[in-house]
Structure 1
Amino acid sequence: MTSLKDRVKAAAERTAGKTGPALEDVQHERTPDGAGEAAAGHDPDTSEGEMAWLRRYEEHVTEALPEHVEPAAFFAAVRAALPTLKRCSPASKLQAVLTAARFGLVPDGKVAVIRADGAQATFIPTYRGYIDLMHRSGRVESVHVGVIYGNEEWSSEPSAPYPLDFTHKARPDLPKAQRGEAILAYAFARMKGGGRSHVVLLNREDAEEIRDEYSEAYRRAEESGARDSFWHTHFLDMWIKSAIRRLEKYVPTSAALRALGDVEDAGEAGQVQITLAPDPEDAALVADAERAHRAAEATQDPARPGSVALPVKAGKRGRSKPKRQRGGRRR
C-alpha cells in the first residue's frame, strides 16, 4: 500500500500541464465500495459535488494541519476557493490543499491562495505567509515591511549606528498623487531579546529582474497574452514578497520557512508541491532537534559536549501529535 501523499504525487505528475479527464486513483480515494463521484450521484462540476469531494479528504487534511490552525477556518477558505478550481484535476486540487495544510497557511487570500493555472491547482503563499512562518521560528519578535514613495523622507546608511542606519517617514496622509511613485520596498525583522536584522532594500528594477528571471507564471501569462499572473495583477505585493524572501538570509529560519520558497518555486514551474512540504513527523523531529541545539548552546558546558540527546523519530505508524476529535467537523 502506498500513502495518500504518494498517490497524489503520482497522479498530479501525470496530469501536470494537461487538460485531460479527472484522475481515477485520486477521484475514488477512500470510497468504500470503489464507486466514484458519478456513481454516488455527485457531479464534481456542481457545488454539491465540490462539497462531497472536500468531505472525502477531510480527515487527511485535518491531520496535516498544525495544532494552532482551526480546521473550521481552513475548510471555509478551501470551500470558497473550490469554485475557481473547477477546471483543475482532482489530484492537483488535493495536493494544493494538503500543501497549504502542512504549512498551516489558510488559503484565504491573506496568507496564501490556491489558484488555477490551466488544469493545475497551485498553492501560493503571500508575503504575509512568509512573515507568519518567520514568527513561528520562535526567535523573531516582529517583521516590518514597507514601500517608500518618491516624496517621502528616508535614508539608508549601513555604517551608521542603529537605528540611524535606516529611517523612513511614511506619509499615508497624503493623496497618492502627492506621495509619488513607489521607488523601494524594504523588509527587516526585530529579534526577541533585542536587535534587528539587516534591512533589505529592493528597487523596482531589482523586482522586475527577479520577476523576469524566476517567475514561470509571469512568462506563461505574457506568452499567452492573458497577463493574469500575480506579477501582472498584484505587482506591489509581489515586490514586497521578493524583499521578504531576501530577508530569509538574515533571520533565524525554521525547516518550514526554508521549504516554503522551494514549494512556491515548484508551483511556478508547474511541478508537484506536496513532496516538498514539511511532513508532520519530520517537522516535529526537526523542531525538537532545533530546541535541543538551542538548549545546548545556552548551557555551553564544555565538560559535556553533545550531552543534549536528540529525539528519535517514531516508526511510520507513530504520530507526532494526537489525533483531533472529528465530531461535528464534517462538511
Structure 2
Amino acid sequence: MHYWPSTRWSFSSRRKNDESWIELPLPFALIGAHDRCQVHVEYKRLPAVVYFAVVCGSRVEVWPLCGIAFPIWGRIKSDTQLLVGKHRLSLMSDADPNWTSPTVAAERTAEETEAIGHHSTDAAPADAALVMDWGTGEQTRRLSRQVTILGEGHPSSMRMHGLGLRVCELGIVCVGKRVWAVQLNPDSLPDGDPMVRELVPGGESIWIGNVHLWANQIGSRAERRFGEPPSDATVAVETPAAVNTNSQGVKRPIVMVDQPHRRPISSITRSTPQSNDTDRVASEFTDRLLQKNEKRANRQNLIKWGVTGGLLLAAISVAGYVLIQGVLPIFKAIYSE
C-alpha cells in the first residue's frame, strides 16, 4: 500500500517555551494521550485521541474527535495553535513560508519509507464515493472533501446511526479517486496491526461495526473487522445462511443481531427525521464554515501580497527618485567639467 501524496511536515509543542520542531513520520497523525498516537500528549484528564491531523500535498488539516474547548477544524497554518491539555501544538508542512528544518528527524521503517514514496505538493481534489452495505442494500455517498470523519455522531462530519460505530470511527482520506481509511481508535486494534488501509475499487471491504465499506465499486467482504466494536454497542454477525437478494440475483449476507438483543433489521438502520435534519444542518454548517475559512485565508493572502507589492513599488519609487534627483546631477556635474 502507498499513502496519498504529501510533503514533509512537523509539529511543535510550546508548553515550556520549547521551539523545537519534530518531524512526523507518516502523512497522518493522531493527537492524544494514547500510546499509539503519533503526537503523544501527557495529561491525565486528556481523552485517548483528541485530534486527527492529515497532510495532503502541502495542505495541513486537523479535525477534532471529541468534545474539546476551543476546537479547530479544517485547514490550518503554521501560526495556528491547538490547545490540547496544557500544550499548545503547531503543525507545519515544508511548503509553509515559515518552514524550518526539524530539530528531530522522523524515524521510519523500510515499509513506511516505501509506502510514503516521493514527497509531492500536488494532491488532487476528492472525486470518489463510498459504497456502503449493512444488509439492506447498497448505498453510495460522494466524498466532497479530502478529509472526512465517519462515525456515529458529533463531531463526525459523515454520520451513520445505529450501526455499532463509535462517535468517530474512521478518518477517510480521498485524493482523486483513491480512498484510504484510518482507524481513529487505536485501542480497538491489536498491537502491530496497521492503522490505515486503502479501499481498492472492487477489492476487499473494510468492515466496521455492522457495515461494509468500499471505494467506488463493490467487491468482496472482509472476514475480520477493522477495529473491534465498542463493548456497549449492538454488533452484528454475518452468517452464510442468512442472505438477501439484490436486483441482479446475487446473494449477499444480511446483518443478524446477536441474542439477547435480537430485533428486526429495519430497527438497526432506522433514524428519525429529526436526527436526519440535525445531521444535514450540521454538515451544511461545517461546509459553510470551511468555505468561510478558505475565503478568509484567500483574502488574507491577497491583502498580504497587496501590501508587499505596494511596499515594493514604494521602495522602487524612492530608489528611482534618489537616483534621478541625487545621483544623476552629481554625474552630470563631474562629466560636464
Question: TM-score scaled to structure 2, two decimals?
Answer: 0.25
Structure with the higher strand share, 1 or 2: 2
Name the larger-Rg structure: 2
Structure with the higher helix share, 1 or 2: 1
Relative contact order (C-alpha < 8 Å, sep 6+): which is higher?
1
Question: TM-score scaled to structure 1, two decimals?
Answer: 0.26
